[in-house]
A and B are shown apart, each in its own frame.
Chain A
Amino acid sequence: MFRNRVSFKSWSVFLMIILGFSCLSGCAGESGQSGKSLLIWHWMTDRQQAFDELAKRYEAAYGVKVNFDLYAPSDAYSQKVRAAAQGVNLPDVFGILAEKRDFAAFVEAGHILDLTYYMDENAGQWRNVFFAKALQINEFPAGNIYKVAPGIYGVPIDTMTIQLVYNKDLFRKMGLDPAKPPVTFSEFIGIAKKIKENNLQGLVSGWGEYWLIDCFANNYAFNLMGQDKVLATIKGQVPYTDPDWIKVLALFKDMRDSGLLYSGAIAMVNKDAEQAFANEKAVFAFNGSWCVNVYKEMNPKLNYGVMLPPKISDKYPVSIWGGAGSSFMVNARSAKKDEAVKFLKWLTAKEQQVYLSEATNNLPANKESLNTIPKILSAFAKNIDYTTHPNIWGVSEFPLVVEALDKGIQSIIIGEKTPEQVAQEVQRTKEKEIAKKR
């Protein structure tokens, strides 16, 4: 009996202790950190070392400890941030890996601080250090479709452009001048013959991932029909069965038929594609400026140049996706938001941006640091004026329509469907989504 009582009591005490600890640990979330410190979440594995070094410098200068917590891969990071948002448990500073509508949802839910005041103070001193295109991605203009209060909600820490790169040594091997990459699409297709004669492979990209196909197709949609018509299509005013869209889709058929595409490119993630280009198996690659660091690690001797996608029309300029590469947002609920803003101002100042650019081979967000960056990065930066990005268009296509377009392009590359069939399928999806929304 006594034993039973002791057992009952000790179990009760034990459970109480466990419950007590659980409650205490539950209460001590991310915001439980005390003292002069900042917590930053990010996904950029290649930048962790540089961030740690900058954190040390900042602590030495200002006495504030900055912890950069890395969560990789980016998919896992993205889920972590969403989960933390649902639990209102975000760190002082974080990045968002999502489309503009999700960005807007974060702002609407009160998770992100409006930085317009800080950007504009002292006659726009902070705002003026950035490339305008880089800042634009983090901006919600007045009257935006997401109904977010106009303002700047993120700080770009670097920029990027997605362009074509070509192997200069393989160009020479084919008897081509590396200083004169193809300018028109017909010149581009024409090189396919030489590529085959030399037993090489042509254009490689991670077209197993939809977004890179989407990006390539959009470049040519802008070039062929101009921004207004592309946006009109997204708004539902122009159908995807329009002849211009069919022409865009037919480009993929032309590339396939000419043998310009790398064999099996549509079953490749971008890392595989980067490996193929770095190993000099492909003459061209469609990739972002982050590739400079990747290629350097994979093959330091790789001799390559940067070029705009060869134009198909002279009516409109060629557009490429670009702008802010990675951005940081300040948690609007953080008790240390002023300190966080102060740190981000320091991080985006010229000296730190030059260091970041040199250490990680990424394009800086601060335009003043452009003169000091490596030559190949400058080549990527040269075309920043041609950049556009879905996040600045002010309208968003239905995700299922984007998916149908990208899957359709894969079908064209496989040879399963014609551009006309794909255009009709995409339009059907679009109409279905519009009807669903109604």
Chain B
Amino acid sequence: MKVKATLENYLFVLPAVAIFSVFYVIPFIWVFQLGMYEWNGISVSRVFVGLSNFKEILFGDPVWWQAMRQVGYITLFALTFQNALAFMLAMACDREIRLKNFYRVLFFIPPVLSEVVVGLVWKYIILNSDGLVNHGIATVGLTNFFNSWLSLPNQPFTGNWTSHTNTALTCVAIVHSWKGFGWGFLIFLAGLQGIPRELYEAAKVDGANSWDCFRKITLPLMVPVIVLVAILTILGTMQSFVLIISLIGGELAGHTTVPVLRILASMRGSSRFGYACAQGISFGVILVMISFIQYKFSQKFKQA
């Protein structure tokens, strides 16, 4: 009887386990396994190469590490600029201000837009002399200032934000942050609304000013939310590539190369499916490690 009951219980979890295995566990194992082969993705036969693909990524692929550095820059930009903006706007909308519902909807529009659309729209905003950004700069008379500030030897800056080595990656980071801040805004707002108002009232009775309230109440209670937003930002930003294709058109002589573009290049350009799988696994491991380190830091911060 007990066996039957146990079997029955297993039967209930079986669909979930089956789905999880089929769509997550098995593909992961398979991709890892493919990472140990030299395979073009078409042939019936594959050549087992052991861990040499992983070794090549670690020690013989400088472009991969250049891509990692560049996506690190975009991620750092998103973690700081994007999340600070999202936090400030969430704080503003948490207060009793007019049209706050309108702002909430407005701030959530960019994240729901397709990355392709965002890239194309921003391209027209920042691309050429007719673009909004260059037009604005010309109107306030700062064209010469930007041209001399951003120019490099042999590379005069003439307002081509997306095709200049000094500005292309930063353009990607800014547009990515513009597109992504809405998610952070929404999560921060939910977190802020979860803080009991009585805490602020009691603090004010005790003579605390706004800065004290923020430092002693808001920030400590928001730590778990900040960690969540930071992890989501890292995971989302590190995997970005569509925006780069739609905004920049590609890797721009390597200056806008990111890991996912390298994986695609290995798979499609070089027809090295095995190597692409190894890159995918390595990238996944790096993401997990970053998230884990960040989680550990936040735990320490929370305890402090």
Contacts and interface: CB of A to CB of B under 8 A. Distances in A.
Given A86-B42, A411-B253, A415-B155, A264 B163 contact: yes
Contacts of A82: 41-42
A102 B252 contact: no
Interface residues of B, number: 40
B40 interface: yes
Interface stretch (A105-113, A312-320, A351-359): A105-113
B83 interface: no
A268 B253 contact: no
Contact of B41 (A86, A108, A210, A410): A86
Contacts of B15: 15
**Interface residues of A, dominant DSSP:** helix
A243 B95 CA distance: 69
Interface string B48-71: 000000000000000000000000
16 contacts: A7-B8, A78-B268, A82-B41, A82-B42, A86-B42, A102-B271, A105-B40, A109-B42, A206-B249, A208-B252, A263-B158, A263-B163, A264-B163, A266-B252, A414-B165, A415-B155
Given A8-B7, A414-B165, A416-B253, 13 more contacts: A4-B8, A85-B42, A109-B43, A206-B249, A208-B252, A263-B160, A266-B253, A267-B163, A399-B270, A414-B163, A414-B253, A415-B152, A415-B155
Contacts of B253: 266, 407-408, 410-411, 414, 416
Given A8-B11, A11-B11, A263-B128, A102 B249 contact: no
Given A399-B270, A414-B155, A266 B40 contact: no
Contacts of B165: 414, 416
A264 B128 contact: yes
B236 interface: no
B271 A210 contact: no
A12 interface: yes
B162 A106 contact: no
A266 B271 contact: no
A272 interface: yes
B303 interface: no
B218 to A, nearest CB: 42
B164 interface: yes
Contacts of B7: 8
A8 B42 contact: no
Interface in A259-287: 263-269, 272
Interface in A381-438: 399-400, 403, 407-408, 410-411, 414-416
B136 to A, nearest CB: 18
A368 interface: no
Interface string A187-210: 000000000000000000010111
B101 interface: no
A36 interface: no
Contacts of B42: 82, 85-86, 102, 105-106, 109, 111
A267 B252 contact: yes
Contacts of B268: 75, 78
B185 to A, nearest CB: 30
B59 to A, nearest CB: 13
B53 to A, nearest CB: 12
Q: Which 10 A-B pairs have the closest CB atoms?
A: A208-B249, A410-B253, A267-B163, A105-B42, A399-B270, A415-B154, A415-B155, A411-B253, A267-B162, A208-B250
Interface in A218-271: 263-269
A82 B271 CA distance: 11
